[in-house]
């Protein structure tokens, strides 16, 4: 089951738009719902009024669970909601009870966060699975959102868990980021070993990149900032490539370490 929450955990709507993309692309149906009572502050997450068949209707914040039928008869579930304001543990417990009713065996939480990264490079996606955490999660200490709480409670209940976060260029503000949604969709596709229909996401991502470039070119300060981010991104990528298993430098280091250890075992002086 995929889970995405609008608000603090959803920079530029990149995470929640993955769910919207999947429900609009594939055959789906609503299977469960969590009502808003007791979970929301309506001054923070306001109900909205809409007109259907000439009648006014108030729509309250709520959580919706969808069954999505992928190609080849593969089925997944998706949860989408505004991040609740209150009673997170009760909310997550109710979510996991629904997951149990639907025979879900893996919980995948999606999120997006503003970060110092350039729009001219692939947007980084951090993935943690169970106890195998990405470097960012291992080093982070600070406030968390409800995806982290849900992920932790799901793991305690014995679910396989995966957390995916895409980084969004901070200098672009809240401009909806289709590139972030595309990166997350591809990460989910790889996780479930099933190709997901990207639909119009690649085209929207190209338009996002074009708009981002236009905004950048309007300010010399922003342009220089992006250039600094590009240099840092490229330097980090080069360092990661050098340190990766199989890289010449890494192989040389392994050989030297093995020779040192063999010498120690044979009593050879260093």
pLDDT in tens, 121-152: 999 999 999 766 656 666 777 889 999 999 99
Distances in Å between the Cα of 200 and the Cα atoms of 28, 141, 179, 238 are 18, 37, 11, 32
pTM for the full predicted model: 0.84
CATH architecture assigned to 2-200: 3-Layer(aba) Sandwich (3.40)
DSSP codes, 53-116: TTEEEEE---EEEEEEE-GGG-EEEEEEEEPPSS-HHHHHHHHHHHHHHTT--EEEEEEEEEES
- Point out the residues of the chain with pLDDT beneath 50: 270
CA distance 71 to 268: 62
CA distance 88 to 153: 11
- Give, as one character, the DSSP assignment of residue 198: -
Closest CA to 110 of 252, 12, 249, 245: 12
């Amino acid at each position: 089951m995929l889970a995405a929450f609008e608000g603090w955990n959803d920079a530029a709507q990149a995470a929640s738009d993955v769910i919207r993309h999947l429900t609009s692309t594939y055959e789906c149906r609503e299977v469960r719902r969590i009502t808003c009572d007791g979970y929301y502050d309506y001054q923070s997450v306001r109900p909205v009024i809409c007109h259907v068949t000439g009648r006014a209707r108030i729509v309250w914040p709520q959580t919706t669970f969808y069954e999505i039928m992928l190609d080849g008869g593969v089925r997944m579930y998706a949860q989408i909601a505004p991040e609740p304001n209150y009673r997170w543990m009760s909310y997550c417990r109710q979510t996991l009870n629904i997951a149990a009713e639907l025979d879900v065996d893996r919980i995948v939480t999606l999120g997006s966060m503003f970060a110092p990264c350039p729009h001219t490079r692939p947007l980084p996606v951090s993935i943690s699975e169970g106890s195998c955490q990405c470097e960012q999660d291992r080093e982070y200490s600070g406030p968390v959102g409800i995806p982290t709480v849900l992920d932790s409670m799901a793991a305690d209940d014995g679910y396989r868990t995966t957390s995916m976060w895409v980084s969004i260029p901070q200098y672009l503000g809240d401009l909806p980021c289709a590139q972030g949604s595309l990166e997350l969709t591809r990460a989910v596709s790889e996780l479930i070993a099933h190709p997901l229909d990207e639909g119009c996401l690649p085209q929207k991502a190209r338009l996002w990149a074009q708009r981002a470039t236009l905004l950048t070119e309007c300010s010399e300060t922003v342009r220089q900032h992006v250039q600094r981010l590009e240099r840092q991104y490229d330097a980090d990528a080069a360092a990661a490539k050098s340190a990766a298993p199989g890289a010449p430098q890494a192989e040389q280091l392994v050989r030297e370490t093995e020779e040192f250890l063999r010498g120690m075992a044979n009593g050879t002086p260093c």
